[in-house]
Amino acid sequence: MAGIPGPRGGAAPEAAAEAGVRANRRAAWIAVLPTAASAVLALWLASGPGLVYLTGAAGPAPVGRTYGSIVTGGVPISLTLQADALSAMLGVLVTLVALAVQVYSVGYLSDDPRYPSYSAFVSLFTSAMLLVVYAGDLLVLYAGWEVMGLCSYLLIGHWWEDRGNSRAAVKAFLVTRLGDVGFLFGIFTLGVAAGSFRVADVLAKVPEMSAATLVTATMLLLAGVAGKSAQVPLHTWLPDAMAGPTPISALIHAATMVAAGIFIVARLFPAFLAARPTLDVLAVLAALGMLGAALAALAQDDLKRVLAYSTISQLAYMAGGLAAGGDRPAVFHLLTHGAFKALLFLCAGAVIHHVGSNLMSRMGGLRRELPITFAAMTIGFAALIGIPPASGFFSKDAVLLAMERALSGGLTDAAALLLYGCALATVAVTGAYAARAWLRTFFGEARAVALPEPEPGTAHVVGVAEAPRTMLVPIVLLAVPALLLGFAGSPHVDLPLAAVSVVLALLGAGLVYAVWRADPLADPARLLGPLRGPCARAFSIDRLYATLVARPVLALARLVVRTDETVVDGAVRGSGRSARGLAGVLRLAQNGNVQLYVSGLLAGILLIAVGAVMLT
């Protein structure tokens, strides 16, 4: 009788729990070990050419292999994988952040029964991003691009029982799919014009392509870039994606999905350089995105949403650097951002794990309870703001320098001035929202409030010092590149511009500190004044989309349903009623009365006879 539960549930629930723990443990090994092997191989592959790309020197020739081709009846698809300096470096970012996320998730989701499927989807997500990075053919790249979209949907909706989570997953899937339509047609345009989808062949044919072809192709590609990298106007999915587990937020925001769009522009940069109108459009979108998202971050109470809007702003920085002609500075900032944003999200996860809430209004005074997390998150915020010697200082300076040089050529005057002005303003706002999040989370008095239920699959551990070791180790390791990676790629700093950038960042941070110091219990976001409401609502872009897109589409859908019911279904139902009515008339003559049949027959013969007589 050992397996039969007793009065309180007994052996069966305990056995099920133990089986779940064993399944999670096996899944953890299956997820972590291959990711670690991939990271080692990526580091080996990038040991030579990776840093060469950042220094601007000519790197070695790409290495790769073609595994066959698919005959399409037109331009063939080449199954080619290749590694050059750019892809080798991005491969390191993807695998190292994915490894940190996999290890961190072991502790973060230790009690989640869906951890095995979660870890499998993370591995697939990582593989898809690596396919994008190492693909030598645009359509092979597109395959990885689409698999990433599927994985993001599955992971954002990991806790699908909550309607908000499932809606966020659907929103991310639909918005990115909208951009991917343009992206696919952009690939077709380039491939047909070049007579090949191979990346090397396309770039070799760029000088021979007409300006109209290049502008059309790059504009279409830009739609996909805006969707994946959360650029205006297709950025609204990213803050809602915070509904997923915090490690997934780190993975999406640091190394996959959002990084893919910036990588594509860098990969096909000669085509974009030859399409100047596209760069002007990219510059305007980047300018609006970086400043608007930074202002939105300054008014959020949810710590993860602060970091989400920060990601949109920093991605716009990279897009602005690309628009200004600085592909290497933009990629450099992509790398440093991957390190410090992954660090910030994992630290946020540790804070949420400890407190049981995402809201900064329910935090405070945590530097004493979480000293390691506090130190690591301080490094992350310093890198985000751009305080030396953190990595973000060097990469942001390189991007700003590229934007400054664009004032004298490369972009139209209005686009270049708008981009540079918004970039400098964003530096100050970034210092403000980072300082606000830092102060409200770790300083002041702890808020003694009733805590809500924690994220599904996790448990808050109020009063326990620090998170589990599996969560702390990735945090500590990520703090190293977040602090020191800047020295690897930009040994030369433009001192006047760097000084202006640091002063602006400290000015924003100092203003927030002064407001917070005057009243530590009040939210420093009040310094926004009447702009606080619009910033907290992210300027109501979602409401605008609902008015201009969602409601008209729903109205059209209802009209189609009514038309289908009244016209199409009505015609079908009407034909059925007509057939039944005619059958009813015919049934009157088919009643089984023999006398009626004989009378009808005689009447017919009589009519025929009369007709015959009259006609003759």
Residue 393: predicted pLDDT: 93
Which of 40-49, 157-166, 307-316, 377-386 is predicted least confidently?
40-49
- Rounded alpha-carbon distances, angstroms, from residue 170 to 15, 152, 181, 214: 36, 10, 17, 33
In sequence order, the 6+-apart residues with CB closer than 8 A to the CB of 163 are: none
User: Residue 179: what are its φ and ψ, rounded to 5°?
Assistant: -70, -30
Q: Which of 231-245, 419-433, 464-478 has the highest mean pLDDT?
A: 419-433
Residue 145 · residue 180 · CB < 8 Å: yes
With bands split at pLDDT 50, 70 and 90, how would you rate the model's confidence at 427?
very high
Residues 107-113: what's their mean pLDDT? 85
Q: Model confidence at 1, in pLDDT bands (50, 70, 90)?
A: very low
pLDDT value of position 490: 57
Find the radius of gyration of the CA atoms of the chain. Answer: 31
Q: Kindly state the tokens that stand for 219.
A: 């504009």
% of the chain at pLDDT higher than 70: 91
> Given a cut of 50, is residue 383 above it in pLDDT?
yes
According to the model, what pLDDT value does residue 538 have?
87
CA distance 528 to 453: 31
Q: How far apart are CA 530 and CA 521, in angstroms?
A: 20
- Summary count for the chain: helices (H), strands (E): 26, 2
- Tokens matching residue 430: 């970034």
Q: Give mean pLDDT, residues 123-148.
A: 94
**Beta-bridge mates of residue 82:** 64
Q: What is the pLDDT of residues 486-516, one digit of tens each?
A: 887 655 788 899 999 999 999 999 999 999 9
pLDDT band at 294 (very low <50, low <70, confident <90, very high): very high
Residue 232 pLDDT > 50, yes or no?
A: yes
Report the C-alpha gap between 495 and 507 in whole angstroms.
18
In this prediction, residue 243 carries a pLDDT of 84
Alpha-carbon distance of 406 to 191, in angstroms, equals: 30
- Give the pLDDT band (50/70/90) at residue 463: very low
Which pLDDT belongs to residue 378? 96
- Could you tell me the residue ranges of all domains in the chain? 16-529, 548-579+592-615
The full DSSP string for 327-385 is HHHHHHHHHHHHHHHHHHHHHHHHHHHHHS-SBGGG---TTTT-HHHHHHHHHHHHHHH
Instruction: Answer for the pair 401, 494: CB distance below 8 angstroms, yes or no.
Output: yes
pLDDT, mean of residues 85-101:
92
pLDDT of residue 122: 94
**Average pLDDT, rounded, for the chain:** 87
Give me the mean pLDDT over the 201-219 stretch. 95
Angle at which helices 413-442 and 303-323 pack, to 10 degrees?
Answer: 160
302 Cβ contact partners less than 8 Å away, ≥ 6 residues apart: 242, 358, 359, 360
Q: DSSP H helical segments within 407-464, as ranges?
A: 413-442
pLDDT of 7? 44
Mean pLDDT along residues 409-425: 93
Residue 170 pLDDT greater than 60, yes or no: yes
Please give the Cα distance from 487 to 469 (Å, whole number).
29
Residue 532 has pLDDT above 50, yes or no: yes
Q: What pLDDT score was predicted for residue 375?
A: 95
- Before 389, cis peptide (omega within 30)? yes
436 pLDDT band (50/70/90 cuts)?
Answer: very high
pLDDT at 454 over 80: no
DSSP class of residue 566? I
Q: Is the pLDDT of residue 169 over 80?
A: yes
**Helix, strand, or coil here: 83?**
strand
| Parallel/antiparallel/unpaired status of strands 63-70 and 77-83 | antiparallel
50: confidence class by pLDDT, cuts 50, 70, 90: low
Average the pLDDT over 294-316 and give the result.
Answer: 95
pLDDT computed for residue 451 by the predictor: 42
Query: Which of 444-453, 520-529, 548-557 is predicted least confidently?
Result: 444-453
- Mean pLDDT for 68-85 is 87
For residue 448, pLDDT beyond 50: no
Backbone angles phi, psi at 48, to 5 degrees: -100, -60
Distance CA 474, CA 254 (A): 14
Query: What letter would DSSP give residue 448?
Result: -
CA 136 to centroid of chain Cα atoms:
23
What is the rounded distance in angstroms from the CA atom of residue 5 to the CA atom of residue 297?
Answer: 51
Three-state DSSP class for residue 135: strand
Among 85-94, 272-281, 432-441, 452-461, the minimum mean pLDDT is found in: 452-461
d(C-alpha 482, C-alpha 343), whole Å: 8
Compute CA 392 distance to the chain's CA centroid, rounded to the nearest angstrom. 21
Amino acid at site 463: G
Residue 43 burial (10 A CB sphere; 0-12, 13-18, 19+): middle
